[in-house]
Structure 1
Amino acid sequence: MACLGMLAISYQSCKPKQVVLQPAAEVVERDIPEERMVMEPKKEEPKAAPTKSDPTPVAPPNYTFKNIQFEYDSHVLKTESYAILDHIAREMQKDADAKFIIDGHASIEGTPEYNMELSIDRANAVKLYLVNSGIYGNNLTVKGYGATRPDASNDTESGRARNRRVEIRHVD
């Protein structure tokens, strides 16, 4: 008997429910005489207190950049180059339309063809860093010079180290 009662109850609970839809109420617009209309007063926006502040002077960009040095036979940026490149990126961001040429150089070791490739790779490493810092890539042109434009004598190790560099020039 208890089983029959449970079966009857579960049957009733499993029956599909009927959804009753009621028609939407009709909206009737009425004309209200103007004298009965309640008008909200217009709120005046608060006036800002007059302030005189001179615009903060923005320093013009300084495009005299320090060269980025590289190790022998490498186009990987040195750790100390990051601070230099961060400074360069901040100066470049002061004028988003400014154009620059990134000149890659190499020391005399290696063949001229290899040095040319290495100098282009060095310039591209600098460009990639600057682009990742928010500089628009189309404003940066890469050129490689290999060992054709030494900054110092290639006869000494210190001179060759100075020649393993990237220079950044502003295009007027």
Structure 2
Amino acid sequence: MLAISYQGCKPKQVVLQPSAEVVERDVPEERVVAEPQKKEPTPAPTQSTPTPVAPPNYNFNNIQFEFDSSVLKTDSYAVLDQIAREMQKDPDAKFIINGHASIEGTPAYNMELSIDRANAVKLYLVNSGIYGNNLTVKGYGATKPIASNDTEPGRAQNRRVEIKHVD
């Protein structure tokens, strides 16, 4: 049964209507026409073109340090952030972090200083999300200068860390 209520100014009155009767008919089988099945158009195969990923650029340099210190120069932070982004492109890649020093100081002291510098870079990279076991630290002291140790600008260039990709 179907109940309809009517709202108005008058008191509510319920109107009842008889429910519709469902009548089933027998249809002879020969008169039953099967509806043709509609085939939904198959969508064209979508070929997603992979986004080209630039290969990592492992040309890492310009990681500089202050005189007689393993504290990174402020300019080196942006370089190290870029290095970390490049390293994250291939999380399984291995690297050697080579520390260097200028000629001032004893060879033993410069060797320790170069190792401390390499460890400072490793710590920065690990804190940036690089897996520490993929980074090896090596110190060279003042044995591999890239500039003359006779001038202060040359010595400043020799106070550095280089990162090399291990093939």
Query: Smaller-chain TM-score range?
Result: 0.7 to 0.9
Aligned residues of 1:105 and 1:145 also touching (Cα < 8 A):
yes
**Pairs within 5 Å for 1:68-107:** 68-107=63-102
Judged with a 3 Å threshold, the aligned counterparts in structure 2 of structure 1 residues 152 and 131 are, in CA distance, closer, same or farther, namely same
Q: 1:167 aligns with which of 150, 162, 167?
A: 162
Other structure's SS at 1:162 match: helix
| Paired amino acid for 2:46 | T
Runs (4+) of structure 1 moved beyond 4 Å?
47-50
Change over 3 Å in CA distance of 1:111–1:138 after alignment to 2 = same
Matched, 1:129 2:124: yes
Q: Is the 8 A contact 2:61 2:161 kept in 1?
A: no
C-alpha RMSD of matched pairs (Å):
1.5
Q: 1:49 deviation in Å?
A: 8.4
| Structure with greater helix share of residues | 1
Cα deviations by residue, 1:7-40 (Å, 9 ceiling, x for unpaired): xxxxxxxxxxxxxxxxxxxxxxxxxxxxxxxxxx
Match of 2:17 in 1: none
**1:55 pairs with one of 45, 50, 54:** 50
Structure with bigger strand share is 2
Q: Taking structure 1 as the reference length, what is the TM-score of the superposition?
A: 0.70
SS at match of 1:146: coil
Percent identity reads: 85
SS at match of 2:61: coil
Aligned-partner Cα distance in 2 for 1:49–1:66: 49
5+ long unaligned stretches in structure 1 = 1-46
- Report deviation, 1:48: 8.8
Give the gaps of 5 or more residues in structure 2. Answer: 1-41
